[in-house]
């Protein structure tokens, strides 16, 4: 049995204000308490959070660089210059590319696009393909979700006479590319931009909203309805794990409504392949676990163009064929991921004998499209910043993840001398390294991680809202009020609660592979019996280990739909075994 996580409870603040807040906002004291625990102190801020309206989005004209970049693009497009959209092979890049194509198509502009092949081209711009595109007559280059680190490629595009506009959200190098315009909120001081943490598709949304306005004026017809691409913005923002606060919260909330409507034939087909009713509303967590992996499987296992074609499809039969292809690729991805994970886990156990603060694991036959997911799983299990590396021709490439608020990109900046290149965010990054420098990378990354951990100690911990009994958990009002906090994600996590001590009446495996567990628990204080499911907890808590024991569960509330009847149940996040008093 694994060591349980440390439970940290959010501290209640200004509890005397709870009844007043509940009355003013017409919510329960339960929800008012959660808002206070999460740091809200202003009634208006609470109201805006609970009702994220599109009308509150920042006007594109008020974003730094957006008006200038849009004017450059619109001017060239009205001159009938050919434009190529260069995206990325992940969901953020695919949705951003689709968004741009949708807007331009409305204005009768036939744009080209290029999504690089993950294995053959790698991330970002490359000179060979740029020269090929220029030879095909493309005069405008618009990057989405990439470009900020490709100084030499942009320099070559400018030599060829291309107009270059970069829209990106990744951390920038010290010297920026010499593009005609750069839209990237991360290169702006926090006080000068409405939101520094937009996804790539979020940046593309604001840029194309302004381009849309200028093209409509220049061509003398109605503008495109930008709310029709909010489904794409939601998908990309959730896939890239952007904070769901401020602008992102509004964008994703609006996008969830459009995903429920599924006007896009590709999304309707994808929902069916994910065993979701076409018209069913989906929570952000469901989208992240059901739709996003299938879209991502395209770029991970083959080519991202399959996912883009799905999102752009206007034919139901074609959309279903593409959705089936993505579903099959995702099944292959899961199988490959499990194989690599088992090998990486064995390496990790041995590596920790030498390196105590980090993990850098390498397999010559590991699939490059899966290593990022495996890195996340290893971090989750071993609680250390991790890079998973694989072969990439004459060098190695790696994908990394970290834990808590440790700055992974900052660590790589400290050891850049041993790398060919690197990029990414605080929580996720990628690198390229020469084969002969693998051991140097392990040593230097471990030293950097050790320094960061000393400054910012990380613990295997869970942040909980508080304790509620099963009577409150079983209440429909509780589920309804928790739903007002949606969408959940980074910086707005789904509320985790603790139960009082419970008796485990039954402890079984859930499913046939012995990965998941099912508990039947009894809350004597409330006189209620409920089921609790623990995903991937079979190895840590093999049945019937907990049967007859007293436990406390850290859990999130779920609705189990069976034969049209909705029943609340608990999804276990952690288990604390309670010792019986003598």
Q: Is residue 272 part of a domain?
A: no
Report yes or no: 423 and 456 within 8 Å, Cβ to Cβ. no
Same domain (yes/no): 90, 134: yes
Q: Is residue 337 part of a domain?
A: no
Please state the rounded mean pLDDT for residues 263-271.
Answer: 96
Same domain (yes/no): 426, 539: no
Answer whether residue 393 shows pLDDT above 50: yes
Same domain (yes/no): 87, 153: yes
Beta-sheet pairing, 359-362 with 163-167? unpaired
Same domain (yes/no): 451, 509: no
Positive/negative CA dihedral, 85, 87, 92, 94: positive
DSSP single-letter state for residue 243: B
pLDDT band at 564 (very low <50, low <70, confident <90, very high): low
Q: Is residue 41 part of a domain?
A: yes
Answer whether residue 114 shows pLDDT above 60: yes
Same domain (yes/no): 99, 213: yes
Average pLDDT, the chain: 93
Last residue of a domain, one of 459, 476, 505: 459
Last residue of a domain, one of 407, 437, 459: 459
Same domain (yes/no): 433, 544: no
Q: Is residue 361 part of a domain?
A: yes
Identify the weakest region by mean pLDDT among 126-130, 151-155, 298-302: 298-302
The per-residue pLDDT for range 475-503, each reduced to its tens digit, is 888 888 999 999 999 899 999 999 999 99
CA 420 from chain center: how many Å?
A: 27
Same domain (yes/no): 176, 139: yes
Same domain (yes/no): 205, 83: yes
Name which of 349, 343, 381, 380 is nearest 364 in CA terms.
Answer: 343
Report yes or no: 29 and 483 within 8 Å, Cβ to Cβ. no
| Helix ranges restricted to H, 107-160 | 127-135, 151-159
Identify the weakest region by mean pLDDT among 230-239, 423-432, 502-511: 423-432
Q: Is residue 323 part of a domain?
A: no
The residue with tokens 């890049």 is 93
The per-residue pLDDT for range 62-79, each reduced to its tens digit, is 999 999 999 999 999 999
Output the six-digit token pair for 160. 């060829």
Last residue of a domain, one of 203, 226, 249: 226
Helix-then-strand count for the chain, H and E: 20, 19
Same domain (yes/no): 35, 65: no
Question: What range defines the domain where residue 220 resides?
Answer: 56-226
Number of domains present in the structure of the chain = 3
pTM of the model: 0.90
User: What is the helix (H) or strand (E) element at residue 559, kind and residue range?
Assistant: strand 550-562
DSSP single-letter state for residue 576: E
Phi, psi of 522 (to 5 degrees): -120, 125
Report yes or no: 252 and 487 within 8 Å, Cβ to Cβ. yes
| CATH code of 424's domain | 3.10.310.30
- Whole-angstrom distance, CA of residue 199 vs CA of residue 373: 19
Same domain (yes/no): 504, 451: no
Q: Is residue 74 part of a domain?
A: yes
| CATH code of 42's domain | 2.40.50.460
User: What pLDDT was estimated at residue 123?
Assistant: 84
Q: Is residue 321 part of a domain?
A: no
Same domain (yes/no): 525, 563: yes
Report yes or no: 300 and 328 within 8 Å, Cβ to Cβ. no
Same domain (yes/no): 213, 121: yes
Q: Is residue 332 part of a domain?
A: no
User: What pLDDT was estimated at residue 174?
Assistant: 86
User: What is the helix (H) or strand (E) element at residue 450, kind and residue range?
Assistant: helix 438-455
- Whole-angstrom distance, CA of residue 116 vs CA of residue 139: 19
């Amino acid at each position: 049995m694994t060591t349980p996580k440390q439970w940290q409870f959010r501290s209640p603040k200004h509890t005397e204000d709870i009844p007043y807040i509940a009355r003013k906002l017409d919510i329960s004291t339960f929800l008012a308490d959660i808002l206070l625990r999460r740091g809200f102190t202003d009634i208006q801020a609470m109201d805006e959070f609970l009702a994220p309206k599109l009308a509150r989005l920042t006007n594109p004209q008020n974003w730094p660089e957006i008006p200038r970049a849009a004017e450059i693009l619109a001017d060239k497009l009205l001159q009938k210059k050919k434009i190529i959209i260069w995206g990325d092979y992940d969901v953020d890049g695919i949705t951003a590319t689709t968004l741009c194509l949708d807007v331009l198509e409305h204005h009768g502009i036939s744009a080209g696009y290029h999504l690089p092949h993950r294995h053959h081209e790698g991330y970002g711009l490359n000179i060979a393909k740029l020269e090929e595109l220029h030879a095909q007559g493309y005069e405008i280059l618009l990057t989405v979700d990439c470009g900020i680190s490709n100084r030499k490629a942009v320099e070559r595009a400018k030599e060829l006479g291309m107009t270059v506009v970069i829209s990106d959200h990744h951390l920038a190098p010290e010297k920026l590319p010499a593009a005609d315009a750069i839209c990237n909120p991360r290169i702006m001081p926090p006080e000068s931009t409405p939101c520094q943490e937009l996804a790539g598709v979020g940046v593309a949304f604001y840029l194309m909203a302004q381009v849309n306005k200028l093209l409509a004026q220049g061509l003398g017809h109605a503008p495109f309805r930008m709310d029709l691409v909010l489904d794409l913005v939601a998908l990309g923002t959730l896939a890239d794990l952007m904070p769901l606060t401020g602008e992102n919260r509004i964008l994703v909330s609006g996008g969830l409504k459009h995903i429920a409507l599924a006007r896009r034939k590709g999304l309707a087909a994808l929902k069916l392949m994910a065993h979701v009713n076409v018209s069913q509303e989906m929570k952000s967590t469901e989208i992240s676990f059901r739709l996003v992996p299938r879209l991502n499987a395209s770029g991970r296992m083959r080519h991202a163009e399959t996912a883009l074609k799905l999102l752009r499809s206007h034919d139901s039969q074609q959309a279903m064929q593409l959705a089936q292809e993505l579903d099959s690729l995702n099944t292959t991805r899961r199988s490959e991921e499990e194989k690599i994970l088992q090998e990486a886990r064995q390496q990790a156990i041995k590596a920790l004998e030498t390196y105590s603060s980090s993990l850098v694991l390498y397999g010559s036959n590991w699939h490059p499209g899966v290593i990022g997911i495996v890195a996340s799983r290893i971090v989750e299990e071993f609680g250390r910043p991790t890079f998973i590396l694989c072969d990439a021709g004459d060098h190695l490439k790696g994908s990394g993840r970290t834990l808590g608020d440790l700055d992974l990109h900052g660590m790589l900046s400290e050891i850049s001398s041993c790398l060919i290149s690197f990029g990414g965010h605080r929580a996720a990054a990628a690198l390229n390294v020469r084969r002969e420098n693998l051991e140097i990378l392990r040593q230097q990354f471990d030293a950097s991680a050790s320094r960061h951990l000393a400054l910012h100690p990380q613990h295997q911990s869970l942040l909980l809202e508080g304790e509620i009994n099963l009577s409150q958990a079983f209440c429909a009002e509780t589920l309804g009020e928790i739903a007002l906090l949606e969408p959940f994600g980074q910086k707005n996590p789904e509320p985790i609660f603790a139960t009082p001590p419970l008796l485990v009446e039954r402890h079984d495996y859930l499913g046939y592979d012995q990965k998941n567990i099912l508990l039947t628990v009894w809350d004597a204080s409330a006189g209620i019996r409920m089921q609790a499911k623990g995903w991937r907890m079979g190895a840590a808590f093999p049945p019937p280990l907990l049967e007859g024991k007293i436990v406390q569960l850290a859990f999130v509330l779920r609705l189990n739909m069976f034969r049209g009847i909705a029943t609340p149940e608990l999804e276990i996040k952690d288990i604390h075994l309670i010792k019986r008093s003598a």
